[in-house]
């Protein structure tokens, strides 16, 4: 019998600043897909809801506090990597408390929606761009 497909559940967020720019984070050296630019987020731990994961990850990675009511689901990625299948909802968040800072040494960039496609991204993230540009405009 074939091995079951490993399913990886990750949640990601498009943080949108008052100028309509979106935050990208660069995957650090040593990690899989190092150097690529992604939407911040992380793995959903057992027992967590996606919104709880995002609140935890954004506090750990960026030092900000997001309220659950500020998180709106937009679309999701479904991508077959070689050793696992990734399911990744993308949320949008326009309001948070605190200043965005790199807590884990990752480079951060605020990017206009029309410029997102010029950043090299993990293959799961790329198909998320049209829905985001539709929502935010260029």
Distance of alpha carbon 85 from alpha carbon 7, whole angstroms: 5
43 binds ligand C5P (CB under 6 A): yes
Question: Residue from 21, 59, 75, 81 that binds ligand C5P (CB under 6 A)?
Answer: 81
CB of 1 to ligand C5P, least distance (A): 26
Candidates 67, 47, 69, 49; CA nearest to 59 is 67
Q: Are 55 and 62 in contact (CB under 8 A)?
A: no
Question: Residue from 9, 21, 42, 112 that binds ligand C5P (CB under 6 A)?
Answer: 42
Q: What x/- string results for residues 86 through 125 when contact with ligand C5P is judged by CB under 6 A?
A: x-----------------------------------x-xx
Backbone angles phi, psi at 42, to 5 degrees: 175, -175
57 binds ligand C5P (CB under 6 A): no
Distance of alpha carbon 28 from alpha carbon 13, whole angstroms: 18
The span of 15-23, 39-47, 55-63, 108-116 binding ligand C5P (CB under 6 A) equals 39-47
Report strand pairing: 37-38 vs 85-93: unpaired
DSSP reduced 3-state for 67: coil
State the residues that interact with ligand C5P by CB under 6 A: 8, 10, 12, 31-33, 38-39, 41-43, 81, 86, 122, 124-125
């Amino acid at each position: 019998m074939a091995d079951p497909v490993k399913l990886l559940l990750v949640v990601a967020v498009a943080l949108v600043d008052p100028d309509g720019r979106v935050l990208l984070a660069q995957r650090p050296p040593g990690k899989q897909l190092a150097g690529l630019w992604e939407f911040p987020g992380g793995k959903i731990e057992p027992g967590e809801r996606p919104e709880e994961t995002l609140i935890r990850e954004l506090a750990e990675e960026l030092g900000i506090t997001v309220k659950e009511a500020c998180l709106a689901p937009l679309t999701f990625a479904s991508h077959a990597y070689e050793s696992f299948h990734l399911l990744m909802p993308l949320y949008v968040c326009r309001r948070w408390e605190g200043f965005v800072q790199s807590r884990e040494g990752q480079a951060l960039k605020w990017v206009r929606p029309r410029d997102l496609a010029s950043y090299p991204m993990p293959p799961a993230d790329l198909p998320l761009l049209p829905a985001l540009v539709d929502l935010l405009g260029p």
